[in-house]
Chain A
Amino acid sequence: EVQLVESGGHLVQPGGSLRLSCAASGFTFSSYSMNWVRQAPGKGLEWLSYISTSGGTIYYADSVKGRFTISRDNAKNSLYLQTNSLRAEDTAVYYCVRRSSDWNFDYWGQGTLVTVSS
């Protein structure tokens, strides 16, 4: 069974940093590209970042470019999102999402909540 389990979200002050993690199991992690998607409270879904299977190709949404860094460790079956210079508008549930070979966002984690507030 495919499982994606996010962790690392909590309350942080504006300007602070957090490292989000996603532990993958039930599939060959190194064979799949991965994404981060977030959802602000009561709002819609926003794609944030993409990383290829090897980590050699990375993309970001304009809203987080220069502040967030995606990475992966295929030996540890883990995906990461380093979030810096956090703002109130970054408050959201952050989801780790697998991309299928057909480019679908086919499996989602349960999400981890990041709250940016003083």
Chain B
Amino acid sequence: DIQMTQSPSTLSASVGDRVTITCRASQSISSWLAWYQQKPGKAPKLLIYKASSLESGVPSRFSGSGSGTEFTLTISSLQPDDFATYYCQQYNFYSGTFGQGTKVEFK
């Protein structure tokens, strides 16, 4: 099974900061990588798919990059609404394995 490892587990930041979260796969997954945002008590929301494609309606301050085994989610200028937990996920046509999550909190 493919394992997904995110870093850091927690990130303290301020409004306006540039934030980067890293996700590593235990083997190559090409570009089959998605990023989700989850707020407390809510379902995850798809932000990025195929490593770098922005889901419709998601602000352009979110971007994704990488291929193979190393991937990055970047928030160019952190906004108050962005404080949440972020998950990466490798996926194929039937399943998906998630990283353990990165909580972005107020510094």
Contacts and interface: CB of A to CB of B under 8 A. Distances in A.
A72 to B, nearest CB: 14
Interface residues of B, number: 24
Given A44-B101, A105-B34, A61 B43 contact: no
Contacts of B49: 102, 104, 106
A47 B50 contact: no
B8 interface: no
A57 B32 CA distance: 21
Nearest to A107: B46
Given A44-B100, A104-B49, A50 B87 contact: no
B16 interface: no
Residue of B50, B93, B99 ringed by the most chain A CB atoms within 10 A: B93
Contact of A108 (B34, B43, B55): B43
Interface of B: 32, 34, 36, 42-46, 49-50, 55, 87, 89, 91-101
